[in-house]
Amino acid sequence: MISVDRLTFAYPDQPPIFRDFTWKSAVCAAWAVIGPSGCGKSTLLYLLAGLRQPAGGQIFVDGQPVPRPRASTGLVLQDYGLLPWATVWDNVALVMRMGCFYRDKRTEGDAPRPYPRSDITSAQIEHWLRRLGIFDLKDKYPSQISGGQRQRTAIARSLLQQPNLLLMDEPFSSLDALTREDLQRLTVELRQETGVTTVIVTHNIEEAVYLGQCILVLGRAPNTEARVIENSGAGCPRFRSQPAYAQKCSEVRDALAVA
């Protein structure tokens, strides 16, 4: 799904964050990326999303380079990225409206169409709002709902396009503990229902272990190699109560200590 080959990236006038960094995501369907602040976790996500371009090397998603964001990659951010002037319904329906906006756009070559799908219907919007438990809030504005409900809205909007890759940048870090666990469980369920590959960036060890079947540990910049911890227990909603969970948390903690 994801292939990063000899990636080099630096922000202007800053030392490089990635230098000749190679990472193959193989068949893993649920990735967690963890590392200390400033290690480049979010930058890696933005590179995968096509929002930033590497200075060197190549990134492939689904076998294709990502010179711009692709509609089949969903992105969920910590601060939700919702339009404050639009209701919950309109925020999710934005994808449908943009699909209509770009209906006549064609793409050259064999690259997948980067624009939003033009066949999304109101019934699909309703389906996702109901699945995420926010249908009753459809007429509310983001400022009128809780953080957890905002994040559910953002997830509904991302899933509406039936993405095959869902990137999440510390999506639950500003939520309270109960809401966070609730949404982590929902993420596991949604992945199983839709078959979407998820990459979740987090600074929380427990979250990384609960959600990531493979955990990519980044160290202090520049990152030159991908250190991956296998975590086959993740993906089970009750993983948290198993002994393997605590063991894996400890393993990730040790890996971070030497990162």
Partner 1 sequence: MRRRDVFLATMILLLAWQLLAWLLRMEVLPGPAAVGQALAREIPRGLGRHFLVSGWRVVASIAVATLLAVPAGLILGQSARLNRIVSPIVYILHPIPKIVFLPILLLFLGIGDTSKIFMIFLILFFPILVVVRDQAGALRPELIYSVRSLGAGRRALFRFVYLPATVPAALTALRVSIGTAVAVLFFAESFATTSGLGYYIIVESWGRLAYPEMYAGVVAMSALGLLLYIVVDRFERRMAPWMFLHET
Residues that bind partner 1 (CB under 8 A): 46, 49-51, 68-71, 73-86, 94-95, 97-98, 101-102, 114-116, 141, 143-144, 154, 157-158, 161, 167
Closest contact distance (angstroms) between CB of 188 and partner 1 is 22
Q: For residues 240 and 243, what is the distance between their CA atoms, to the nearest angstrom? A: 8
Closest contact distance (angstroms) between CB of 160 and partner 1 is 9
Q: Which is nearer to partner 1, 70 or 180 (CB)?
A: 70
Q: Which is nearer to partner 1, 78 or 187 (CB)?
A: 78
Q: For residues 107 and 165, what is the distance between their CA atoms, to the nearest angstrom? A: 20
Q: Taking Cα atoms as reference points, which of 73, 18, 13 lies closest to residue 5?
A: 18
Closest contact distance (angstroms) between CB of 149 and partner 1 is 15
- The gap from C-alpha 221 to its chain's centroid, in whole angstroms, comes to 21
Write down the H helix ranges in 147-234. 147-159, 177-194, 205-211
Q: Which is nearer to partner 1, 78 or 231 (CB)?
A: 78
Q: What are phi and psi of 50, to 5 degrees?
A: 85, 10
Closest contact distance (angstroms) between CB of 132 and partner 1 is 16
Q: Which is nearer to partner 1, 45 or 216 (CB)?
A: 45
Question: Taking the chain, what is the end-to-end CA distance rounded to the nearest angstrom?
Answer: 26
